[in-house]
Amino acid sequence: MPQRVLLIVSGGIAAYKSLELVRLLRKRGIAVRAVLTRSAKQFVTPLSLGVLTEDQVYDDLFDLKAECEIGHIQLSRQADLVVVAPATANILAKMANGIADDLATTLLLATDKPVLAVPAMNVRMWHHKATQRNLAQLRADGVHVMEPDDGEMACGEYGKGRLPEPEAIAVEVERLLALPSRADPLAGQQDFMGDTGSLAGQHVLITAGPTHEPIDPVRYIANRSSGKQGFAIAAAAARAGARVTLVAGPVQLQTPAGVIRIDVETAREMLSAVEAALPADAAIIVAAVADWRVADAAGQKIKKDGSGQPAPLALVENPDILATLGHHAQRPKLLVGFAAETEKVADHAQAKLAKKGADWIVANDVSGAPGESVMGGEDNAVQIVSAQGIECWPRLPKHAVADKLIAKVAHALSPSAD
Ligand code: CTP
């Protein structure tokens, strides 16, 4: 039996891209049934979607004739995943408020299946407080929300709000369909979160990746961090229903569904973005921040002067983001740091716990040749160091470390925790 997606297309100029999305999903062996809102029909015809899905396309007119054959409750539950793409500001607002005034929104209210919303709208509509409030509500309700792309818009403005490429949406659909709890026929939004526990209503702030510290406009100091562990933790926190802010250094990774990502380059930019994101219930500080930066980065490319001597580079220490949070007036209730060590892992982690004012330090051994090391690799073997002692976890894929850590965070933040 193929996996099934109920695709709700709402009305916006990006609606035409739903045709390509259907094609890509079908190519992956996923069955698609489409529902069009009234305004979506201005942009894409039921006939073209019907041809591509090889199925009946549903819209408001379906009620009278087909309700006796297939009720809307049934329609909303026959899929494994409901995808709203493009999701306009209007449909997001209705979803966030439980409004059911047409077939699409009625299905969204009636479904017991996971929902992925893929927003697309004008940049100002995207940044409007009302839209951001609605998105936060949807995430807290367990809806997976993809981040829109940046770029030129159909209306001529430039910024965030473009529908992500259909290929990226198809990858996300596949990922959500592969989550284990999908197999449970009774799985609702909460159950769909897997074993990460619930973080609904909590704000989780995460840093990830390296920082780049400029030497001159073309050179920088960096390290081997890939950002994979931090991104996996952000994805797990979003699946657990948290509002997630991910402050990311320069990495080539896709933003996990439902995560608000802020891209930065340097340690100082990372600190500003972190402080601007406060307050947070928990902060998980994973980034491999460069300890030093060049005191006076050159405005122009540094040239060889012919003497054979390299230009001297004076370094100054960067701010410590974890320690700043540990002693901050708005210190998150739970503060988790990481420690990258190449020797005496537990001892160094204990020392960092006290020095940085963190609640837990997730310590990992980053020794090993490039390519075999935790840095950039797929697995991680960590020890959780806290005032309560040391927990040693087995070597696990980074996403499993992320799920386990988020389950521990959810437990620590739950009202019943002491
Ligand atoms: N960290 C930070 N800001 C810095 C340096 C480190 O927020 N400028 C955070 C890291 O994100 C991590 C923790 O502090 O959560 C420990 O980082 P690590 O690199 O292991 O330790 P350092 O403090 O840099 O100490 P050292 O390099 O001496 O081991």
- Mean pLDDT, the chain cut into blocks of 10 residues (418 residues total): 91 94 94 94 93 88 52 80 97 96 92 93 94 92 90 78 93 82 35 60 96 96 93 94 94 89 96 96 97 94 92 94 97 96 88 95 78 67 90 87 94 80
pLDDT tens digits for range 168-216: 999 999 989 886 443 333 333 333 334 567 898 899 999 999 999 999 9
107 belongs to a structural domain: yes
- The answer to whether residues 81 and 185 belong to one domain is yes
Q: What is the pLDDT of residue 396?
A: 86
406 belongs to a structural domain: yes
Ligand 1: does its nearest atom lie under 6 Å from the Cβ of 352? yes
**CATH number of the domain residue 90 falls in:** 3.40.50.1950
31 belongs to a structural domain: yes
Give the residue whose CA is nearest to atom 17 of ligand 1: 339
- The answer to whether residues 276 and 407 belong to one domain is yes
Q: β-strands 115-119, 158-162: how paired? A: unpaired
What domain range includes position 175?
4-191
- The answer to whether residues 187 and 222 belong to one domain is no
- The answer to whether residues 131 and 273 belong to one domain is no
**384 DSSP β-pair partners:** 362, 391
- The answer to whether residues 78 and 177 belong to one domain is yes
Ligand 1: does its nearest atom lie under 6 Å from the Cβ of 366? no
Q: Which of 191, 213, 237 is the last residue of a domain?
A: 191
- Centre of ligand 1 to C-alpha 65, Å, is 64
Q: What is the pLDDT of residue 179?
A: 65
197 belongs to a structural domain: no
- The answer to whether residues 46 and 105 belong to one domain is yes
- The answer to whether residues 159 and 291 belong to one domain is no
- The answer to whether residues 180 and 211 belong to one domain is no
CA separation for the pair 241, 243 (Å, rounded)? 7
Q: Which of 149, 169, 191 is the last residue of a domain?
A: 191
Q: Are 132 and 119 in contact (CB under 8 A)?
A: no
**CATH number of the domain residue 309 falls in:** 3.40.50.10300
Ligand 1: does its nearest atom lie under 6 Å from the Cβ of 351? no
- The answer to whether residues 182 and 243 belong to one domain is no
CA separation for the pair 178, 82 (Å, rounded)? 14
Determine the residue type at 3. Answer: Q
39 belongs to a structural domain: yes
161 belongs to a structural domain: yes
- The answer to whether residues 275 and 134 belong to one domain is no
For residue 376, which phi and psi values (nearest 5 degrees)?
90, -20
Select from 321, 350, 355, 386 the residue to mutate for testing ligand 1; criterion: most ligand atoms less than 8 Å from CB.
Answer: 321
- Centre of ligand 1 to C-alpha 392, Å, is 20
Q: What is the pLDDT of residue 47?
A: 92
198 belongs to a structural domain: no
- The answer to whether residues 61 and 35 belong to one domain is yes
Q: Which atom of ligand 1 is nearest to the CA of 318?
A: 8
Ligand 1: does its nearest atom lie under 6 Å from the Cβ of 87? no
Q: Which of 73, 155, 316, 392 is catalytic?
A: 155
Q: What is the pLDDT of residue 62?
A: 58
- The answer to whether residues 163 and 16 belong to one domain is yes
Q: Mark the binding-site residues for CTP, compressed into ranges.
A: 291, 301, 319-322, 338, 352, 356
- Centre of ligand 1 to C-alpha 231, Å, is 18
Q: Per the structure block, which two tokens stand in for 404? A: 């386990």
**208 DSSP β-pair partners:** 248
CB atoms within 10 A of CB 299: 7
CA Rg, the chain, in Å? Answer: 24
User: Shortest CA distance to 386 belongs to which of 325, 339, 331?
Assistant: 339
If one counts the domains in the chain, the total is: 2
- Centre of ligand 1 to C-alpha 302, Å, is 29
Ligand 1: does its nearest atom lie under 6 Å from the Cβ of 287? yes
Q: Which of 191, 215, 235 is the last residue of a domain?
A: 191
Q: What is the pLDDT of residue 67?
A: 52
Q: Which atom of ligand 1 is nearest to the CA of 337?
A: 15
Q: What is the pLDDT of residue 153?
A: 73
Q: Per the structure block, which two tokens stand in for 400? A: 């499993």
Buried/exposed 262-277: b ≥16 CB within 10 Å, e otherwise = bebebbbbbbebbeeb
* Residue 68 annotated among the catalytic residues of the structure: no
